[in-house]
Amino acid sequence: MDTGDRLLTPGEVAALFRVDPKTVTRWAAAGRIGSIRTPGGHRRFRESEVRALLEGEGEFDEDNPPGSPSPASPPGAGATPRAAGSRPGGY
């Protein structure tokens, strides 16, 4: 039950994602990422969760590496399955 992961500051998460801290705040506000608030109102994020998001947890597919001339148009191969049910926060 130990969630024992480090907590990251908005600036840390922003640097990891290469986005603005404000954007990270928006994600948290939208419920797209879990956030813990300090008594002062500042947010802290779990490193485990951020890492999972960075790895592309729940979102993989759509790959067409250059050099993979795969015709990519398989007749019945439902390409690009836009799975939309794997979003943390499930929305």
Partner DNA sequence: TGATATTAGGGTAATTCGGGAC
Partner DNA sequence: CATGTCCGAATTACCCTAATAT
**Minimum CB–partner distance for residue 75 and DNA (Å):** 27
Using rule CB under 8 A, residue 38 touches a second copy: yes
Chain positions contacting DNA, by CB under 7 A: 9-12, 14, 18-30, 38-43, 87, 89-91
Pick the stretch among 3-11, 60-68, 70-78 that binds a second copy (CB under 8 A): 3-11
The site map against a second copy for 56-75 (x = CB under 8 A) is x-------------------
**Which residue blocks in 1-91 are alpha helix, DSSP H?**
10-17, 21-30, 47-55
How many CB atoms lie under 10 A from the CB of residue 64?
Answer: 11
- Nearest distance, CB of residue 9 and a second copy, angstroms: 7
For 24, half-sphere exposure in the C-beta direction (CA atoms, 13 angstrom radius) is: 26
Q: What is the token pair recorded at 72?
A: 């990519």
Cα 12-16-17 angle, rounded to 5 deg: 120
CB of 28 vs a second copy, minimal distance in Å: 10
